[in-house]
C-alpha cells in the first residue's frame, strides 16, 4: 500500500531521477516533471499528497509554482529544494506557505527522506483529526429537516462559539443531552472535558461534595480530598441535567458559583477559580416551579441566558423517516447487520403513533427491530409498538360512544394490519386463540376464501 503520492518538479534530470528513486524506496508513488509549467499541468490532472520542487528553474520558478498550486489546494504540503546561492528564494517560498526547504549538497537525499517522512506523518495526523471531528459532529448531529429543527441547529452553532450559559428545555427523550454535547463539540472547548451531572440522582447529603469537592476530614467519611464536578470540568463544559430537581438549598450556592466563577470546597478555606461553560437541561416548567417555591427566580434568570426548547416528536412527525433511516444505519454499523429500511406498512405505523417517549422511544423501537430483522426490510411485526396505542394515536380508531363490539372489531383489524395480516401473531398479541380470531373475521365478513367450510366442519 502506497504511503502517499508525491509530485516532484526539478529541471535537473539526474536530481529528479534520484528523488523519485528515494521516494519509491520509501513506499511512495511519485511523478516527475522537468518544468514548473509541466508540474502545474500534472498537479491539475492528478491527486497528490505532497509537492517537492526545485526553487530555481527556467520559465516558471518554484515560488511561482507554489503560488499557483496554492490557488488550487491551500493545504497541500510543498517542499522546496534550493542551491546554496538561492536561499533568498527559499525564504520567499516559506513566506508563501512552503512546508520546508532543503539545500542541495552531499546529503540532499537523506535530508529529503526525513523531511518527507515527517511531513507525511503530520498530514496523516491532520486528516485523522479532521475525520474524528467530522465523526463527532455527525454523531451529535440533531436529525431533522423541519423548520423548528433547522432553527435549533442554527442556534446551537451560534451559541457554541460563545461562553454563554445555555438552558435546554423539552420533554424526556427529546434529545436535550445531545444538544448539550453538540454545543460542546462545536465550541472552542471541544478538547477539554465534557462532564455530566444528573441533578435528580445526586445523593442529597453529598450534593455539595459532588459539585464543589471536599477536603480531607471535612465530614465523617471524608478520608481524602475530592475534586468536584465544577473543578474537574474547568476549561470545558458542565452539563447539569434535570436542573429543576436540584434542592432549593443548593441552588443558592450554585448561583454564587455562576456569579463569582469560583467554588469553595466543603471544608476548604481558599476559593478555586473555574472556567466552565454551563449547559442546564430540564423537562419541568421552571416558571411554574418558581411560582411553587421549588426553584429560585434569580438562578433561573442566570441559567436562562440562552434558551433552546426542543419540540416533542409528535410535533415533528415529518422527521420520522429520516430519524428511522439514521437509527437503522447506526445499529447496522454497530452490529454488522444489513437492514435495508422498513416496509411501507411500518412507516404507516411509525407515523400513526404519538411517541410519548419521543426520540428515545423511537430509537429503542428501531434498535429492537434491526436486531430482530438483521437483513432485508423491517416488517411490522418487528416493531414493538402497541396496536392499541397506534389506534388511539391516529384519532380515527377508538372513540367515545363506540359499542364494545365496534371497539373490539377496530382493535382486531388494526392488530392484523400491524402484524402484516399474520393471524397467528395477531392472535398471540390479542390473547385469543387462532380459531376465535377466524370466527371474528368471519363475523366481520373478511374471512378468506374457503374458510366458511373450514369453520363449519
What are the pLDDT digits (tens) for 178-206?
999 999 988 999 888 999 999 888 877 77
**What's the pLDDT score for residue 190?**
86
Domains identified in the chain and CATH numbers: 5-134 (3.40.50.2300), 147-311 (3.40.50.300), 313-385 (1.10.8.60), 396-457 (1.10.10.60)
- Phi, psi (5° rounding) for residue 380? -55, -35
**What's the pLDDT score for residue 201?**
83
The mean pLDDT value for 214-229 works out to 82
Find cell 465523617 and name the residue: 220
Confidence band of 403 (pLDDT split at 50, 70, 90) = confident
**Does pLDDT of 392 surpass 50?**
no
The percentage of residues in the chain with a pLDDT greater than 70, rounded to a whole number, is 89
**What's the pLDDT score for residue 298?**
95
Q: Taking the model in full, what pTM does it have?
A: 0.59
**Strand partners for 241:** 198
How many CA within 13 A on the CB side of residue 25?
A: 10
- In 285-345, the DSSP E strands lie at 306-309, 338-342
The answer to whether 373 touches 379, Cβ cutoff 8 Å, is yes
**Does pLDDT of 61 surpass 80?**
yes
Q: In this structure, are strands 262-263 and 272-273 parallel, antiparallel, or unpaired?
A: antiparallel
- Alpha-carbon distance of 1 to 27, in angstroms, equals 8
What cell numbers appear for 119 in the block? 511531513
**How many angstroms separate the first and last alpha carbons of the chain?**
73
**Strand partners for 221:** none
**Does pLDDT of 176 surpass 50?**
yes
Give the number of other Cβ atoms within 10 Å of residue 24's Cβ.
Answer: 11
**What's the pLDDT score for residue 174?**
93
R_g of the chain, CA atoms, integer Å = 33
The mean pLDDT value for 391-420 works out to 70
- Phi, psi (5° rounding) for residue 53? -140, 140
**What's the pLDDT score for residue 342?**
94
The dihedral over CA atoms of 435, 441, 446, 448, expressed in degrees to the nearest 10, equals: 0
- Alpha-carbon distance of 32 to 6, in angstroms, equals 9
- Alpha-carbon distance of 303 to 238, in angstroms, equals 13
Instruction: State the DSSP H helix or E strand holding residue 101, giving kind and residue range, or none if neither.
Output: strand 100-103
What cell numbers appear for 330 in the block? 447506526
The mean pLDDT value for 288-306 works out to 94
- Give pLDDT tens digits for 66-98: 999 988 888 888 998 887 656 777 778 788 788
**Strand partners for 214:** 226, 266
Encode 64-76: b = buried (16+ Cβ within 10 Å), e = exposed. Answer: bbbeebeeeeeeb
**Strand partners for 376:** 339
- Alpha-carbon distance of 351 to 319, in angstroms, equals 10
The percentage of residues in the chain with a pLDDT greater than 90, rounded to a whole number, is 35
**Strand partners for 31:** 7
Confidence band of 393 (pLDDT split at 50, 70, 90) = very low
What cell numbers appear for 290 in the block? 418558581
**What's the pLDDT score for residue 386?**
62
Q: In this structure, are strands 166-169 and 306-309 parallel, antiparallel, or unpaired?
A: parallel
Quote the mean pLDDT of the chain. 84
- Give pLDDT tens digits for 99-147: 888 887 767 788 888 888 888 888 777 777 666 665 555 555 678 888 8
Nearest to 444 by CA among 420, 412, 422, 418: 412
Identify the DSSP state of 243.
G
The per-type count for the chain, helices as H runs and strands as E runs, is 20, 16
What cell numbers appear for 331 in the block? 445499529
**Does pLDDT of 457 surpass 80?**
no
**Strand partners for 32:** 8
Give the number of other Cβ atoms within 10 Å of residue 224's Cβ.
Answer: 8
**What's the pLDDT score for residue 397?**
56
CA distances from residue 142 to 295, 319, 323 in whole angstroms, order as listed: 29, 11, 9
What cell numbers appear for 364 in the block? 429503542
What cell numbers appear for 181 in the block? 454535547
Amino acid at each position: 500500500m502506497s504511503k502517499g503520492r508525491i509530485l516532484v518538479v526539478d529541471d535537473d534530470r539526474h536530481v529528479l531521477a534520484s528523488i523519485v528513486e528515494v521516494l519509491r524506496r520509501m513506499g511512495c508513488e511519485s511523478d516527475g516533471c522537468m518544468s514548473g509549467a509541466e508540474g502545474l499541468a500534472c498537479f491539475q490532472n492528478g491527486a497528490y499528497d505532497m509537492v517537492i520542487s526545485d526553487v530555481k528553474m527556467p520559465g516558471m520558478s518554484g515560488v511561482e509554482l507554489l503560488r499557483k498550486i496554492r490557488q488550487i489546494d491551500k493545504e497541500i504540503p510543498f517542499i522546496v529544494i534550493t542551491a546554496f546561492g538561492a536561499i533568498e528564494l527559499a525564504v520567499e517560498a516559506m513566506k508563501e506557505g512552503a512546508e520546508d526547504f532543503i539545500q542541495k549538497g552531499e546529503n540532499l537525499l537523506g535530508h529529503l527522506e526525513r523531511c518527507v517522512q515527517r511531513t507525511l506523518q503530520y498530514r496523516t495526523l491532520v486528516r485523522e483529526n479532521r475525520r474524528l471531528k467530522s465523526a463527532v459532529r455527525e454523531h451529535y448531529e440533531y436529525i431533522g429537516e423541519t423548520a423548528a429543527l433547522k432553527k435549533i441547529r442554527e442556534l446551537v452553532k451560534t451559541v457554541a462559539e460563545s461562553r454563554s450559559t445555555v438552558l435546554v428545555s423539552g420533554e424526556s427523550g427529546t434529545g436535550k443531552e445531545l444538544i448539550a454535547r453538540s454545543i460542546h463539540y462545536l465550541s472552542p472547548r471541544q478538547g477539554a472535558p465534557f462532564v455530566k451531572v444528573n441533578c435528580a440522582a445526586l445523593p442529597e447529603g453529598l450534593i455539595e461534595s459532588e459539585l464543589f469537592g471536599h477536603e480531607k476530614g471535612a465530614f465523617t467519611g471524608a478520608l481524602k480530598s475530592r475534586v468536584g464536578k465544577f473543578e474537574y470540568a474547568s476549561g470545558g463544559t458542565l452539563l447539569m441535567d434535570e436542573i429543576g430537581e436540584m434542592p432549593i438549598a443548593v441552588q443558592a450556592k450554585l448561583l454564587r458559583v455562576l456569579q463569582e466563577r469560583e467554588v469553595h470546597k466543603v471544608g476548604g478555606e481558599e476559593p478555586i477559580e473555574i472556567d466552565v461553560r454551563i449547559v442546564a437541561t430540564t423537562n419541568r416548567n421552571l416558571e411554574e416551579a418558581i411560582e411553587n417555591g421549588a426553584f429560585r427566580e434569580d438562578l433561573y434568570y442566570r441559567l436562562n441566558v440562552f434558551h433552546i426548547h426542543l419540540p416533542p416528536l409528535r410535533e415533528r412527525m415529518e422527521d420520522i423517516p429520516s430519524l428511522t433511516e439514521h437509527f437503522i444505519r447506526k445499529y447496522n454499523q454497530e452490529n454488522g447487520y444489513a437492514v435495508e429500511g422498513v416496509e411501507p406498512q411500518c412507516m404507516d405505523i411509525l407515523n400513526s403513533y404519538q411517541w410519548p417517549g419521543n426520540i428515545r422511544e423511537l430509537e429503542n423501537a428501531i434498535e429492537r427491530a434491526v436486531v430482530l430483522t438483521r437483513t432485508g426490510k423491517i416488517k411490522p411485526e418487528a416493531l414493538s409498538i402497541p396496536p392499541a396505542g397506534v389506534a388511539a394515536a391516529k384519532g380515527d380508531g377508538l372513540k367515545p360512544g363506540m359499542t364494545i363490539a365496534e371497539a373490539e372489531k377496530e382493535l382486531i383489524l388494526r392488530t392484523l394490519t400491524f402484524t402484516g395480516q399474520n393471524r397467528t401473531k395477531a392472535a398471540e398479541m390479542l390473547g385469543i386463540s387462532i380459531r376465535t380470531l377466524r370466527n371474528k373475521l368471519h363475523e366481520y365478513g373478511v374471512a378468506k376464501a374457503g374458510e366458511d367450510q373450514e369453520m363449519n366442519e
